[in-house]
Structure 1
Amino acid sequence: MPHDVSPHSEPVLVSLSVPPAARRGLVTGLVRAVSERTDLPVLDLAADDAEVAAFLARIAHADTGFVARTDSGDRALAVVAATAAALCGEDIRAALAMPDIEFLRGLSAPAEDAVRDVLTAIETGEPDAVGSGLSVLEAGR
């Protein structure tokens, strides 16, 4: 019995790779309501920049992350920038004073994950204000 194979047939390539996980990003799921209890260190962003910078310099290379608390969108943006600066060995106080939005928008997925592993949440009683302050990180994406 002859085998019915066309001499012009070519193999079909099938990808067996696992699809990439959804990108978490810097902002998605970062803001939450204030919790009475957390197992992580809490940073009150009402502290002055010197205290915040000292905290971030310590925590950036520790085995744990932290939770920031603020009702200010500007301060929330500043702590994201300062956390990235701490991880990169950059000037934390400068990042607090003037967050580099373009730098933050350009972070690779692994870099975003590194920031989010350290800054696990921003707790607030004003989620709209904090979300608005962080929205500049999602613009243009």
Structure 2
Amino acid sequence: MVTGESQPVLVELTVPKRAIERGLVDGLVVPTGTFAGKRMVEPALSDEGVADLLAEVAHSPDGFAARGETGARALAIVAATAAALCGEDIRAALRGPDIDFLKGLSSGAIDAVREMLLGIESDEPAVLENALRTALS
């Protein structure tokens, strides 16, 4: 029976959440050899060499990977990547990573860092990841 009156239809509207919100360290450290053929920051590369590479990569669609031997150097690479994206002093970030700044990165900023820094290779990925998590906790 049609009465001419319409009835409201209830529809739940929500903003979809991202399936997985990736943190700065989640999945960052991988086994050595994972990024064969990608632009690579080797442990022996000087701070000046790293800064030059990051300045270049920050303005290109391609990312880079790094090899990490120590947690301190891996943290420095993460900090320098964020600095490169923000137009900050990359060399200063390599010498003294700003932990509070890294901890305060928004999810969008984390995504940007992770798009540029594809990963950090290590012979002992669990050890290096633990060192990064400890430094950033």
Place the TM-score, normalised by the shorter chain, in its bin: 0.7 to 0.9
Partner of 1:82: 80
Structure 1, 25-34 or 44-53: larger mean CA deviation: 44-53
1:23-78 Cα offsets, whole Å, 9 max, x none, are: 11110000000117634211103211111111111111211001101211100000
What code does the residue aligned with 2:128 have?
V
1:114 lines up with 2:75 in the alignment: no
Two-structure CA RMSD over aligned residues (Å): 2.2
What code does the residue aligned with 1:42 have?
M
- Whether the 8 Å contact between 2:102 and 2:136 is mirrored in structure 1 is no
The 1:35–1:96 alpha-carbon spacing in structure 2 relative to 1, beyond 3 Å, is same
Mapped to 1, the partners of 2:39 and 2:62 lie a distance apart of: 8
The 1:46–1:110 alpha-carbon spacing in structure 2 relative to 1, beyond 3 Å, is same
Mapped to 1, the partners of 2:79 and 2:91 lie a distance apart of: 10
Partner of 1:60: 58
Q: Name stretches of at least 5 consecutive residues in structure 2 with no aligned partner.
A: 1-8
TM-superposed deviation, 1:14: 1.7
Mapped to 2, the partners of 1:138 and 1:24 lie a distance apart of: 15
TM-superposed deviation, 1:21: 2.9
In our comparison, the structure showing a higher alpha carbon Rg is 1
- Whether the 8 Å contact between 1:71 and 1:127 is mirrored in structure 2 is no
1:27 lines up with 2:59 in the alignment: no
* SS, match of residue 67 in structure 1: strand
Partner of 2:3: none
1:47 lines up with 2:39 in the alignment: no
The 1:81–1:37 alpha-carbon spacing in structure 2 relative to 1, beyond 3 Å, is closer
TM-score (norm 2): 0.85
Q: Name stretches of at least 5 consecutive residues in structure 1 with no aligned partner.
A: 1-10
Identity %: 47
TM-score (norm 1): 0.83
The 1:115–1:137 alpha-carbon spacing in structure 2 relative to 1, beyond 3 Å, is farther
* SS, match of residue 121 in structure 1: strand
